[in-house]
Amino acid sequence: MVELSATAVILIVCMVLFAQLLALIGKQERIADARQVALRTAANRLEGLLAKDFAELPLAGNTESPALELLELLPSAEMKVQVSAVESAAEQPAAKQIRVEITWLDAAGVRVPGVALSAWKHAEVAP
């Protein structure tokens, strides 16, 4: 009888630990999914900006609303887009740096660094 009681206690402890482990794995998967969607959203926005002509990119920084897919996973997500001039040598064409950054709040309410992508757009040079 003692062995059966000890086995039952060990089994219950194992089940509780297993349930906690499953909850932790699920939380980590949701965080990874959110980061992947944030990265895809930033990449899509950056690609759209790179498709514009050099002159159409205004030098500014602003906060934009991210994609609905991202807001479903991360309601506190913020997307910042910054276009800045880059100094270049005299023989180099003018360039602008485009930076897209997405941040959000974690479960504790602390802003997470999130994801950031940068690219450079150069003015076209006449041959």
* CB-count burial class (<10 Å; 0-12, 13-18, 19+) for 85: exposed
Q: What is the pLDDT of residue 126?
A: 65
CATH fold label, 2-122: Pantoate--beta-alanine Ligase; Chain: A,domain 2 (3.30.1300)
Beta strands in 19-110 (DSSP E): 60-64, 78-86, 95-105
Phi-psi region of 109 (alpha: psi -120 to 50; beta: other; left: phi over 0): left
> What is this structure's pTM?
0.76
Reduce the DSSP state of residue 53 to 3 states and report it. Answer: coil
* Per-domain boundaries in the chain: 2-122
The CA-to-CA distance between both ends of the chain, in Å, stands at 92
Mean pLDDT, residues 99-121: 90
pLDDT digits (tens, 9 = 90+) for 45-88: 999 999 988 888 888 888 888 888 888 888 888 999 999 988 77
